[in-house]
Amino acid sequence: MALNPDPERLKFLLETTRKEARHLRQTVDRLASEPISADWVAGLEDQPELSERLDAFVARFGRLQDTLGDKLVPELLRHWLEHVGPALDNLSRMERLGHLDSLDDWMEARNLRNRLVHEYMRDPEEFAEALQRALELVALLEQTRDRLERAAQDLLPNPPDPAAARP
C-alpha cells in the first residue's frame, strides 16, 4: 500500500464503514429481539432463518472490525504522518491518541469474533455467552467508527455527511 495519504481512499473507507455499521446494527436489532441462551443456540439447527441471521451478525461483526482496524486506522495514521505498523501497534497508537477507548476491549472483540467463527456452536453454553458479549461489544465498534469519522473531518475537503449513516 502507498505510504502517502490518499483522501479519496479515506473518504471511501469512511463511507464503507458507515454502511457496514448500519448493516451490523440492523442485524443486531433483529438478532437481539430474542433472549440468547444455550437453548436458543441448540435450537438453531431447526431454524435456518435464525441461523442465517446469526451468520450475518458474525460476518458483519468481523467485517467492520477488519475494515476499521486493518484499513481505516492505517489510512488515518498516514494522513496524520504517523508510523504505520502491524495492526496491534496501530490500534495501540490510536488508543494513545484518544481515538480508541480501550485496546483491551478491541482485542476482546477480535478474540470473540474468532471464537464465533472457529468454535461455531460446539458448546451451546459457551457459544451463547460469547455471542452475548459480542452483541455488547458492537457499541465499541460503532463508537470507534464514529470517533474516527469525526477525527477525519478536518482531513477531507468535502467530508461525507455523518447524518447520512443514520436510518
Dist. CA 150–CA 49, nearest whole Å? 37
* Length reported for the chain: 167
What are 103-116's pLDDT values in tens digits?
Answer: 999 999 999 988 88
C-alpha grid cell, residue 79: 494522513
What are 42-52's pLDDT values in tens digits?
Answer: 999 899 999 99
| Lowest-confidence pick of 3-7, 71-75, 89-93, 143-147 | 3-7
What pLDDT is recorded for position 162?
56
Mean of pLDDT over the chain: 90
Q: Name the one residue in this structure whose C-alpha cell is 470473540.
A: 112
Where does the pLDDT of residue 85 fall: very low under 50, low under 70, confident under 90, or very high at 90 and above? Answer: very high
Output the pTM of the full model.
0.88
Please check the confidence at residue 1 and state whether its pLDDT lies above 50: no
Dist. CA 55–CA 103, nearest whole Å? 26
C-alpha grid cell, residue 157: 475537503
Dist. CA 36–CA 138, nearest whole Å? 15
What DSSP line would sit under 57-83, residue for residue?
HHHHHHHHHHIIIIIIHHHHHHHTT--
- CB under 8 Å to 89, separation ≥6 — which residues? none
